[in-house]
Chains A and B, each alone.
Chain A
Amino acid sequence: MMQGGGRLETAAPAAIELRGISKAFGSVQANRDIYLRVERGTIHGIIGENGAGKSTLMSILYGFYKPDAGEILVGGRPLTIADSQTAIRAGIGMVFQHFKLVQNFTVLENIILGAEEGRLLRPSLSKARGVLRQLAKDYELNVDPDEVVENLSVGHQQRVEILKALYRQADILILDEPTGVLTPAEADHLFRILEGLRAEGKTIILITHKLREIMEITDTVSVMRRGEMVASVKTAETSPEQLAELMVGRKVLLNVQKVPATPGKPVLEVRGLRMVDAAGVERLRGIDLDIRAGEILGVAGVSGNGQTQLLEILGGYPEKGSTVTGKARVNGTPLPLSGAGCNAAERRRQGLGHIPEDRQVEGLIMDFAAWENVAFGYHDAPEYGRGPLMDRDAIRRDAEGKIARFDVRPPSCDLAARNFSGGNQQKIVVAREIERNPDLLLIGQPTRGVDIGAIEFIHKRIVELRDAGKAILLVSVELDEIMSLSDRIAVMFDGRIMGERLPGATTTGELGLLMAGVDPATAPTRDGTLPAHTP
């Protein structure tokens, strides 16, 4: 089943074949002797941890990097891809994780951008309009061609990216982590589009770290680990457990092991929390929450439905210019929601810890060394030195301990945060916040962009904190994470809690409906074809 070098032999020329591709950056070997064969008319998954070399490989395929060695065959013919223009001419289209759209252009203008013909725009635009109409009919790719891109939902923006590639007559479509920003319903829709494209004979390469998606949609899957292609297998002949083991190089527990919660006294009580931002938009519309000691409350929802605001307010730093009303108490003591008492330092003194949603923007100072980041937010703590000067030795000793206990790699205190991988950066943040033993830990997207091995580790630590009788508020857009970690699940939509469910008594389908603003208990059931949410 698994073959050395990862080649599957077939007679017809492959859509894409890579032979012995290698690429190094400085002393880092990003790709080592890669063989890959992607058959025409299939969906081929490429899976691997962060830093395994997936993106480098795709960048080589799209002409962003020149390989140090090896050759690329497109449709059986060798091709030197010197730039993305060559790739496009060879029929390769790429949908990036971060869209490359001009926000204040219309859909149509974005689609012809770079593919304009002649000196005047009008002929190109009307031609594109015709092509677009046809594509929309063929593949369920409905987007209003005259809408300005910044008014589109994320799911629709992604469709524009796909349309751009198809407009350039791409036969081979590469999608880099396409579902990271989508609701389950939007992801389902995307998968239907991809299946439609496959039925038309297009070839699709799907880069993802989500095992569920690989199992759901791909025909074949290749696994990368540390720059090497470790296996290429037929999806039907493998299992998530086996893929995870291939990715990480050891056995991984995909499901969090935990005993049922034994909730104690209430730790966090939130009543009628409302927030109106500086632009006058109501972001939170009356949130009520309770978390008891020793339980994890998971907050599910598509990003942008008020979770960020909830975390920021509880964390002590509501958005500038916003108005917050309502009440919140921790261990019976009111949390000031505005004014001088409302700041993150005060919250920490009240026993709150906070793992923020974006470690690179909030949780860490990327240019600071690891040891400085271990003190970050707690730099006023007396054990880090008395008086105005900081005791560097004390902080470093503490940081070394945390780095060792959380298995941060490389175990170097002096390395700047930006030089750690995403998973290890997150471990630094998690170590800092969890080891303070907070009564209430706020967690936002704890495993975004974190590799599987580190996810397992971080999840284990979160459950340990719960078992030590602490209250945890977990915000995540990953439903799997919410389902496996939470003791109770609250679903947020448009600044409200749509409903609360117990993880054992609900399904991702039901949660998905709640996330889209539909309460399955009251609304008539639909067949899963929900309109994508536009904010």
Chain B
Amino acid sequence: MNKMPKWADVILTPVISLVLAMAISAFVILAIGESPTVALTTMIDGALGSSYGWGFTLYYATNFIFTGLAVMVAYHASLFNIGGEGQAAMGGLGVALVLLSLPLPHWALALPAAMIGAALFGAAWALIPAWLQAKRGSHIVITTIMFNFIAAAALNYILVNLLRPVGSMDPASGRFPEATHLPKLSDMALALGFEWGKNTPVNISFFVAVIACVLVWLLIWRSRLGFEIRAFGKSEPAALYAGINPVRITVIAMLISGGLAGLMAINNVMGEAERLVLNAVEGAGFIGIAVALMGRNHPLGVFLAALLFGFLYQGGGELALWTSIPRELIIVIQALVILFTGALDNMVRMPLERMFLAMRKRGA
């Protein structure tokens, strides 16, 4: 019944998309007079060639896992949450308020407290668009986009006028107490007796992200709530017939989604910057959309896609550092990957399906 085997659907299609994106990127690099092979080796070396590179790749991937999961959960309820950026920014505010106001003696206490703050603020920021969608029919894509701008402006004001320490010229909060700093993976490696990823920001949040993948999988595919979310996402009339309340599901799915986006703040705000700075999210909210699309809205896919985008982020940075290829080109490469794996998915998928059908026909 299926048009092609599962492995072709899950692995072959994205890999071919990726190769196509790389090929066009190579042409662009050629066109500006640089060598694509040098570019590729620089990226791979810089992102994956050393534990230092891996440390950054995994750090970025952690951000993308959270925002990718956020987009994915909403997607299963047929809601396109483009507000990950704003929700993650608000999550950062939650983390900062928790860590700056509560005297937490140890990171093991600070982490759960910060997670609650991050998730609550992220979820709250998703609640208003969710409610407007459920009750008033305002389109969630429009409202969540708008809420990104509102979040940016609100954070700007809060940082400059409320959280900025007296006398500081920097629009950022004060540093979080030393006791609340999260252990870096490099510290953990040292404790185990080997050196890994020295001076990299990847921290224990990476494991939280991996656990989040498992929990989201349980939620969507094993729980009653997930059943209702998926049923509602596939057909609202059927959900009504089955006694699933659309308002409730819309709100709950968006709360979970916003909470996951907000959780990203434990990585970038708490784990890396150790204070709240302006524009801390750096577009990770938007990358989450591509990650969820490329990951085919499955936590394992999200995890792998997040790794890929982590690689592109870190590799791109290295490219700008070591070659004369401008930083902007990496945005072109990333955009091509998003274009091919997301928007042009069917361009690769349909010829593949036809090919597999033809092969099956010949085999039959």
Residues 211-261 (chain B) with a chain A CB within 8 angstroms: 218, 222-225, 227-228, 230-231, 234-235, 237-238, 240-245
Residue B139 interfacial (CB < 8 Å) = no
A365 and B1 contact, CB distance less than 8 A: no
A361 and B234 contact, CB distance less than 8 A: no
Residues 343-393 (chain A) with a chain B CB within 8 angstroms: 343-348, 354, 356, 358, 361-368, 372, 375-377, 379-380, 385, 388-390, 392
Cβ 8 A contact of A365, one of B225, B238, B360, B364? B238
* B218 CB contacts on chain A under 8 angstroms: 389
B360 and A388 contact, CB distance less than 8 A: no
Q: Smallest CB–CB gap between A122 and chain B, Å?
A: 41
A365 and B243 contact, CB distance less than 8 A: no
* Number of chain B residues whose Cβ lies closer than 8 Å to a Cβ of chain A: 24
Cβ 8 A contact of B231, one of A317, A343, A368, A389? A368
Given contacts A26-B357, A368-B231, A419-B1, contact A390 B238 (CB under 8 A): no
Given contacts A26-B357, A27-B361, contact A377 B224 (CB under 8 A): no
* B245 CB contacts on chain A under 8 angstroms: 343
Of chain A, the residue at the smallest CB distance from B361 is: A26
A344 and B241 contact, CB distance less than 8 A: yes
B227 and A354 contact, CB distance less than 8 A: no
Of chain B, the residue at the smallest CB distance from A410 is: B1
Given contacts A363-B238, A367-B234, A389-B222, contact A372 B361 (CB under 8 A): no
| A363 vs B242: C-alpha distance when bound (angstroms) | 8
B237 and A390 contact, CB distance less than 8 A: no
* B243 CB contacts on chain A under 8 angstroms: 316-317, 343-348, 377
* A392 CB contacts on chain B under 8 angstroms: 222
Q: Is the interface of B mostly helix, strand, loop or mixed?
A: helix
B235 and A365 contact, CB distance less than 8 A: yes
B224 and A363 contact, CB distance less than 8 A: no
Residue A93 interfacial (CB < 8 Å) = no
A354 and B241 contact, CB distance less than 8 A: yes
Q: Smallest CB–CB gap between B2 and chain A, Å?
A: 9
* A367 CB contacts on chain B under 8 angstroms: 234
Residues 336-364 (chain B) with a chain A CB within 8 angstroms: 357, 360-361, 364
* A317 CB contacts on chain B under 8 angstroms: 240-241, 243
A363 and B227 contact, CB distance less than 8 A: no
* B242 CB contacts on chain A under 8 angstroms: 344-345, 376-377, 379
* B224 CB contacts on chain A under 8 angstroms: 379-380, 385, 388-390
B234 and A365 contact, CB distance less than 8 A: yes
Given contacts A362-B238, A419-B1, contact A376 B361 (CB under 8 A): no
| A347 vs B218: C-alpha distance when bound (angstroms) | 29
* A79 CB contacts on chain B under 8 angstroms: none
A390 and B222 contact, CB distance less than 8 A: yes
Q: Smallest CB–CB gap between B238 and chain A, Å?
A: 5
| A247 vs B316: C-alpha distance when bound (angstroms) | 66
A361 and B238 contact, CB distance less than 8 A: yes
Q: Smallest CB–CB gap between B321 and chain A, Å?
A: 46
Q: Smallest CB–CB gap between B229 and chain A, Å?
A: 12
A366 and B234 contact, CB distance less than 8 A: yes
| A325 vs B248: C-alpha distance when bound (angstroms) | 25
Residue A422 interfacial (CB < 8 Å) = no
* A363 CB contacts on chain B under 8 angstroms: 238, 241
Q: Smallest CB–CB gap between B256 and chain A, Å?
A: 13
| A416 vs B230: C-alpha distance when bound (angstroms) | 14
A361 and B235 contact, CB distance less than 8 A: yes
* B1 CB contacts on chain A under 8 angstroms: 415-416, 419
* B364 CB contacts on chain A under 8 angstroms: 27
Of chain B, the residue at the smallest CB distance from A24 is: B361
Q: Smallest CB–CB gap between A337 and chain B, Å?
A: 15
* A388 CB contacts on chain B under 8 angstroms: 223-225
Residues 170-186 (chain A) with a chain B CB within 8 angstroms: none
A344 and B231 contact, CB distance less than 8 A: no
Residues 318-349 (chain A) with a chain B CB within 8 angstroms: 343-348
* B228 CB contacts on chain A under 8 angstroms: 379
A344 and B222 contact, CB distance less than 8 A: no
* A376 CB contacts on chain B under 8 angstroms: 231, 238, 242
Of chain A, the residue at the smallest CB distance from B222 is: A389
* B360 CB contacts on chain A under 8 angstroms: 26-27
Per-residue B-contact encoding for A416-440, CB less than 8 Å = 1, 0 else: 1001000000000000000000000
Q: What are the 7 A-B residue pairs with the smallest beta carbon separation, nearest first?
A: A345-B243, A344-B243, A377-B242, A362-B241, A317-B240, A419-B1, A365-B234
Could you list which residues of chain B lie within 8 angstroms of chain A, going by C-beta atoms?
A: 1, 218, 222-225, 227-228, 230-231, 234-235, 237-238, 240-245, 357, 360-361, 364
List 13 additional A-B contacts (Cβ < 8 Å) besides A388-B224, A390-B222. Answer: A26-B357, A26-B360, A27-B364, A344-B240, A347-B243, A358-B237, A361-B235, A362-B237, A365-B230, A365-B234, A368-B231, A368-B234, A388-B225
7 intermolecular pairs with C-beta atoms under 8 Å apart: A317-B243, A358-B237, A362-B237, A362-B238, A377-B242, A389-B224, A416-B1
Could you list which residues of chain A lie within 8 angstroms of chain B, going by C-beta atoms?
A: 26-27, 315-317, 343-348, 354, 356, 358, 361-368, 372, 375-377, 379-380, 385, 388-390, 392, 415-416, 419
